[in-house]
Structure 1
Amino acid sequence: MRLALGGLLLIGLNNAAAQAPLRFVVPDSWAMPMVQLEHGRPTQGILYDVMLSLATQVGVPAEFHVLPRGRVQSAMEQGEVDVRCYAAQSWLPNQSGDYLWSIPLFTQPDLLISRPDPHTSVIPANLSRQSIGTVLGYSYPTLQPLFDANQLHRDDARNQEQVLEKLQAGRNRYAVSNQWTLDWFNQRLLPGRQLQGLAVLQEQSVGCYVRNDPDVPVQRILRTLLRMKMSGEIDEIIRLYIGKP
């Protein structure tokens, strides 16, 4: 009897060990409230919580690969990672490989922002020649014609939070930020010093995509993401960090 129980326990342990982790890619340009990186590893944040919950509900361990933004797509193509979240198909017009996309999970506007200013709105095309705070490797379709015409110039920082820190310090008069990071950054500032949005540059629906590989539980992942969205779980995670969905 003991031998039989021991055999069953060994089988159970082997099955648990055989569960391949779900490998998520995390661009090192992400910042809070999307992801907090400490010593090169994610520890908290909206996307970290979503990815960790996804893996838990799928029933496999989560494994996070922090990579430079320029390496993210090649890592997907080479099978080094399985899932990329917070992406849009319009960002990857020449995407190669076999992938399946989730439903849209988040909607994020990109805003032209400034330090506190009595002007409540600005038309980017009317700005004088100057530098604009941007994130290295990010594309800004609305501003690209102005960059091409040398009317505006990119002042790239490694991540979105550094863009806001440079703006607050007066390095630039204007910068571009997503709504999440702006809300998170403003939480630690007094009302009279909070950065403000001046214009919506673009609004993008983003989700996750998965390598269509027999070794990856693709349909289980997509069904779980759908359930997390429809149940309100994803919106609750967002509220946890910035107080609104």
Structure 2
Amino acid sequence: MAAERVLRIAIDSAWNAPQIVFQHDQPHSGLFIELFEQIARNSDAKIAWVILPRKRLVGAVENNEADLLCHLNPKWLNLSIPPERWSGLFITQENVIIQAAQHPQHEINLEQASFLNLGTVLGYHYPKLAAQMQRGLIRRIDSPSQEVLLKNTQNGKLQHSIANRLNVEEFNRRSPSGQQLRIVQTVDIQDTFCLLAPQPNIPAAQLKAAIAQLHSAKQIDAILHR
């Protein structure tokens, strides 16, 4: 009998709902878990989770300690990685500016911002705002995770923050009436992809086909609308 194939998927230990829900330090449920499980089924493989802090994820894939790392964009990395090691589209991410309900609502002209303190997540890259951040016109106020960022915005420690719309909507579903975060404006919408190891356990062509099948077979639509 042939040995069962194993797909080693690297995941961020700081991810939160709705992407991943952890129980007893192990991934239990969430949008990304469902997507990863579908990729594994499409690959005829079982999953082995490689759970690491964000700063170690790319290194694990580069060292062939994991086969796949998803929800990345080449623009976010300071590495030159051959195009053939990137999958097609994984999922689209919308970054939005948020604020607590008690603050007056007004859009921010981000291109002309001056000395704006903006809540961000440590280690996250914001290409649309990179130039203003480098010039000091937008000052990052980092939180260790998206969940902490949302809580700090809700309690008024941060007046404005940038966050993933999916996380904001999930956070608002869990928040009492009157304490939901307000989405002020969209900053950008970015495609994200999966990075493949140089020598993955499963052939790269098969992994790419399994990820592409999420969209071609409308599997992702079924998962998103559950």
- With the length of structure 2 as denominator, give the TM-score of the two structures: 0.88
How far is 1:190 from its partner?
4.5
CA distance in structure 2 between the aligned counterparts of 1:234 and 1:108, rounded to whole angstroms: 14
Query: Could you tell me which residue of structure 1 aligns to residue 92 of structure 2?
Result: 107
Instruction: Give the unaligned 5+ runs of structure 2.
Output: none
Q: How far does the alpha carbon of each residue in 1:198-223 deviate from its partner, in whole angstroms, 9 at most, with x for none?
A: 22222210122322427423222222
Number of aligned residues: 225
How far is 1:166 from its partner?
0.8
Instruction: Give the unaligned 5+ runs of structure 1.
Output: 1-11, 241-245
Matched, 1:157 2:148: no
2:126 is matched with which residue: 135, 140, 151?
140
Matched, 1:209 2:198: no
Matched, 1:231 2:212: no
State which structure, 1 or 2, has the greater radius of gyration over its C-alpha atoms: 1
Give yes or no for contact 1:56–1:62 (8 Å, CA) kept in 2.
no
CA distance in structure 2 between the aligned counterparts of 1:67 and 1:216, rounded to whole angstroms: 21
1:119 is matched with which residue: 88, 105, 108?
105
Matched, 1:188 2:177: no
CA distance in structure 2 between the aligned counterparts of 1:74 and 1:141, rounded to whole angstroms: 21
Q: Residue type of the partner of 1:94? A: L
Give yes or no for contact 2:7–2:201 (8 Å, CA) kept in 1.
no
CA RMSD in angstroms, aligned pairs only: 2.2
Q: Residue type of the partner of 2:156? A: G
Matched, 1:73 2:58: yes
CA distance in structure 2 between the aligned counterparts of 1:132 and 1:221, rounded to whole angstroms: 37
CA distance in structure 2 between the aligned counterparts of 1:186 and 1:220, rounded to whole angstroms: 38
Query: Could you tell me which residue of structure 2 aligns to residue 59 of structure 1?
Result: 44
CA distance in structure 2 between the aligned counterparts of 1:208 and 1:44, rounded to whole angstroms: 20
How far is 1:90 from its partner?
1.9
What percent of counterpart residues are identical? 25
How far is 1:191 from its partner?
5.2
How far is 1:232 from its partner?
1.8
**Greater helix content:** 1
